[in-house]
Amino acid sequence: MKNILVPIDFSAYSISAAKMGVHVAKKTGATVHLLHVANIPVGWANQSPSERQKNSVLEKRFVDAQTKLKKFARSRIFKSITVTTTVKGDVPFEQILSFAKAHLIQLIVMGAHGAGETTSLFIGSTAQRVLRMASCPVLSVKKNYTPKDIRKIIFASDFEGNITRSVNTAKNLAANLKASIDLLYVNTLTRLKDSEELLTRMKAEVHAQKQVTFKCVVYQDHEIETGVINYAKKSKAGMIALVTNLRKRKAGYQLGIAETILFHTRVPVLSFAQK
């Protein structure tokens, strides 16, 4: 993991994300890229100074945003790591996804709303769209989350399809964080599966690897979301990782499993899109 992107709007949510991004960067040696999407037209930053001077209001807005972001990057939060700053214009989630692709970002860390923090039932429109559409893993954290050493990561999945790449990414992150991983399948009455078959699938994903300690768990609960959250609490997990399926196609007013878990837990949630 060499490049971590943290979108910044200077809210408490994005400050928490920045702290988490720095925490991971110190463990992995990654560069943290701070991106602020200002209320300016797309491509404004690429125009010549003479062109930008034609609209002094937008130019001031752009310069002020640059100054504020660079000042933030000099704060104690970013001590001892490499950090870059970029200001763009236009729609936030589009610029976040575009930046991630152009700069070979391996992890996006961003803030998200949770239960009791908003009158809405959603994690935030920008966070929701990035979570569903990013090609790289997305690590979401809540407002006022304080980074700490993570000793256990729960990797929840149905263990169908090709998830090996996601498991390996989680394994590499766990190795840097010096954490163990619990592979978790939540059995419910509506999708009850044979435990032995599930354990065989899980063990196939970690066959012959010794870098990280893995544990394979089949957990019973009424719903997948509550099962993941309850097991995370029971095992004192510091992070929940999930592989999400077809997340781009779910209507915006419907909460997916990853979004529901993120909304109701204080634990950081790492989301992978299934390829």
Question: Which contacts (CB < 8 Å, 24+ apart) does range 65-69 have?
Answer: 65/36, 65/38, 65/40, 68/10, 68/36, 69/8, 69/34, 69/36
Distance CA 274, CA 135 (A): 9
- Pick 209 or 140 by higher pLDDT: 140
Distance CA 247, CA 128 (A): 10
**Of the residues 81, 116, 141, which one is the last residue of a structural domain?**
141
Query: Any idea what DSSP says for residue 249?
Result: G
Residue with tokens 């929940």, as numbered in its chain: 240
Distance CA 19, CA 12 (A): 11
The verdict on 115 and 44 lying in the same domain is: yes
| Number of structural domains in the chain | 2
The verdict on 129 and 48 lying in the same domain is: yes
**Of the residues 84, 106, 141, which one is the last residue of a structural domain?**
141
Residue 146 lies in a domain: no
Residue 63 lies in a domain: yes
For range 19-41, the mean pLDDT: 93
**Per-residue pLDDT, 121:** 47
Residue 147 lies in a domain: no
**Per-residue pLDDT, 25:** 96
Residue 81 lies in a domain: yes
Distance CA 4, CA 33 (A): 6
Task: Count CA atoms within 13 Å of residue 225 on its CB side.
Answer: 11
Range of the domain at 29: 3-141
Q: What is the CATH number of the domain that holds 115?
A: 3.40.50.620
Those residues with Cβ within 8 angstroms of residue 147's Cβ, 6 or more apart along the chain or in another chain:
19, 20, 22, 23
**Per-residue pLDDT, 208:** 64
Q: What are phi and psi of 167, to 5 degrees?
A: -60, -40
Verdict on whether the full-model pTM lies above 0.85: yes
